[in-house]
Amino acid sequence: MFSFHDVIGQEEVKQKLLHEAHEGRIAHAQLFCGPPGGGKMALALAYARYLCCPHHTPTDACGTCPSCVKWDKLVHPDVHFAFPIVKNAKAKKEVCDDYLPQWRQLLLESPYFALEHWLDKMDTENGQAIIYAKESDEITRKLSLKSSEGGYKITIIWLPEKMHEACANKLLKLLEDPPRQTVFLLVSETPEQILPTIQSRTQRINIPKISDEDIARALQQKYGVQPQDSETIAHMANGSFLKALETIHLNEENDLFFNLFVSLMRLSYARKIRDMKQWSEQVAGLRRERQKDFLAYCQHMIRESFISNFHCQEMNYMTRAEQNFATRFAPFVNERNVMGIMHELSEAQIHIEQNVNPRMVFFDFSLKMIVLLKN
d(CA 171, CA 83): 14
pLDDT in the model for residue 288: 86
The region that residue 205 occupies, defined by phi over 0 for left and psi between -120 and 50 for alpha, beta otherwise, is: beta
Closest CA to 319 of 244, 215, 207: 244
- DSSP track, 42-73: HHHHHHHHHHH-TT--SSS--SSSHHHHHHHT
Contact indicator for 175, 198 with CB cutoff of 8 Å:
yes
Contact indicator for 112, 241 with CB cutoff of 8 Å:
yes
Q: What is the DSSP letter of 99?
A: G
Q: Which amino acid is at 223?
A: Y
Low-confidence ranges of the chain (pLDDT < 70): 91, 125-126, 249-252, 313-314, 316, 375
Residues 6+ apart with CB under 8 A from 109: none
Q: Which amino acid is at 176?
A: E
pLDDT in the model for residue 176: 87
d(CA 29, CA 185): 6
The three-state DSSP-derived secondary structure of 120-157 is: HHHCCCCCCCEECHHHHHHHHHHHHCCCCCCCCEEEEE
Closest CA to 308 of 244, 300, 230: 300
**162: number of Cβ within 10 Å:** 24
Contact indicator for 151, 51 with CB cutoff of 8 Å:
yes
Sign of the C-alpha dihedral, residues 346, 352, 358, 364?
Answer: negative
Contact indicator for 186, 160 with CB cutoff of 8 Å:
yes
**219: number of Cβ within 10 Å:** 25
pLDDT in the model for residue 229: 81
Give the pLDDT confidence of 225-244 residue by residue, as tens digits: 888 888 888 888 889 998 88
Instruction: Identify the three-state secondary structure at position 76.
Output: coil
Report the chain's C-alpha Rg in angstroms.
Answer: 22
- For 241, half-sphere exposure in the C-beta direction (CA atoms, 13 angstrom radius) is 29
Residues 6+ apart with CB under 8 A from 152: 51, 52, 78, 181, 182, 183
How far is residue 327 CA from its own chain's centroid? 30
d(CA 319, CA 306): 15
pLDDT in the model for residue 81: 96
d(CA 54, CA 159): 29
d(CA 256, CA 264): 12
Give the pLDDT confidence of 175-188 residue by residue, as tens digits: 888 888 899 999 99
d(CA 141, CA 138): 5
pLDDT in the model for residue 225: 83
d(CA 91, CA 214): 43
d(CA 351, CA 283): 14
